[in-house]
């Protein structure tokens, strides 16, 4: 299989740059509109959080894409979002300016450990 192939294949050792290119392309194609099933699942998340009666929970969204779900989550508390696709993070920053958004590999990125560092 050539490195240019954009199939998810667990036998390939994807390097960071290849993953970023893949997810930037995927997000450009698929995140411009949110399909009905994704929207339905996204609408369920606030319904799962609300009954917990948490007082301003800190929320970490891994794979936040363009911020469409983070936009709904900020009403509960501070949101930190991470996505490898830097182009999606640029869109998310415009969509949800009050969220803390990072582009990078969740296994490598350094996130704050202290709640006082999140606003």
Helices and strands (DSSP H and E) totals, the chain:
4, 3
Residue 95's pLDDT band (boundaries 50, 70, 90)?
very high
Does 87 or 42 have the greater pLDDT score?
Answer: 87
> CA-to-CA distance for 83 and 106, rounded, in angstroms?
7
**Is the confidence at residue 65, as pLDDT, over 70?**
yes
Which pLDDT belongs to residue 11? 67
Class of domain 16-106: alpha beta
DSSP strands (E only) in the chain? 59-62, 79-83, 100-103
> CA-to-CA distance for 99 and 114, rounded, in angstroms?
16
Which pLDDT belongs to residue 1? 41
Q: pTM value?
A: 0.77
Tokens at 14, concatenated: 């994807």
Q: What is the mean pLDDT of residues 20-48?
A: 86
> CA-to-CA distance for 48 and 57, rounded, in angstroms?
13
Which pLDDT belongs to residue 37? 87
């Amino acid at each position: 299989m050539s490195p240019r192939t954009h199939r998810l294949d667990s036998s390939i050792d994807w390097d960071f740059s290849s993953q970023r290119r893949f997810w930037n392309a995927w997000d450009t194609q698929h995140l411009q509109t949110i399909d009905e099933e994704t929207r339905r699942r996204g609408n369920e998340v606030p319904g799962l959080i609300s009954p917990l009666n948490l007082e301003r929970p800190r929320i970490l969204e891994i794979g936040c894409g363009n911020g469409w779900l983070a936009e709904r989550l900020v009403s509960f508390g501070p949101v930190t979002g991470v996505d490898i696709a830097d182009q999606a993070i640029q869109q998310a920053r415009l969509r949800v300016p009050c969220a803390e958004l990072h582009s990078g590999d969740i296994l490598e990125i350094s996130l704050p450990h202290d709640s006082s560092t999140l606003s």
